[in-house]
């Protein structure tokens, strides 16, 4: 399977283009402060997925998945700042929040699948908390191995 067939990558690419179109219509000050940061963060979600996809060792692939997830959290922060400052509507912010949650679930599933089966990388659903950290990363009842 190629990177373009990976659903989480395609969704990350699409949301990046959506953010670009939104920010392109802002005035200079908004673009220069929030806009550039938001575009860089959202573009990093897909960029880190593709960089990891090209890595040979599964631990490197997984690490870039973690970078991608961090960029997704940063993207969400910049989106919230844009909404709080009246640069995007509450309706657009709510819609994007839903998209970020979907991408987060798929991203967690993708990360979890890396290295689980020799030669196979697949997407699956994983638990994801919208307001907090992913449950599968910091379990509350188990100590790290």
* CA gap 12, 100 in Å, rounded: 9
Please give the model's pTM, rounded to 2 decimal places: 0.78
Quick check: is 142 in a domain?
no
Which domain CATH number covers 68?
1.20.1440.60
What is the tens place of the pLDDT at every residue in 48-103? 999 999 988 989 999 999 999 999 999 999 999 999 999 999 999 999 999 999 99
Phi, psi of 69 (to 5 degrees): -65, -40
Total residues belonging to the chain = 145
- Let me know if residue 121 belongs to a domain: no
Contacts of 3 (CB under 8 A, 6+ apart): 9, 49, 50, 53
For residue 1, give the 3-state DSSP assignment: coil
Instruction: Provide the domain limits for residue 107.
Output: 3-113
What total number of domains does the chain contain? 1
- How far are the Cα atoms of 39, 55, 101, 134, 138 from residue 13, in angstroms, in the given order? 12, 19, 15, 22, 28
């Amino acid at each position: 399977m190629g990177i373009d067939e990976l659903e989480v990558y395609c969704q990350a690419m699409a949301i990046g283009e959506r953010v670009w179109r939104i920010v392109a219509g802002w005035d200079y000050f908004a673009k220069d402060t929030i806009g550039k940061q938001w575009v860089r963060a959202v573009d990093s979600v897909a960029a880190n997925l593709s960089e990891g996809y090209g890595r040979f060792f599964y631990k490197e692939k997984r690490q870039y998945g973690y970078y991608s997830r961090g960029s997704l959290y940063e993207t969400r922060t910049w989106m919230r700042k844009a909404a709080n400052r009246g640069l995007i509507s509450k309706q657009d912010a709510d819609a994007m929040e839903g998209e970020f949650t979907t991408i987060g679930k798929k991203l967690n599933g993708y990360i979890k699948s890396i290295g689980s089966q020799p030669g196979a990388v697949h997407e699956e659903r994983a638990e994801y908390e919208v307001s907090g950290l992913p449950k599968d990363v910091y379990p509350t009842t188990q100590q790290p191995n």
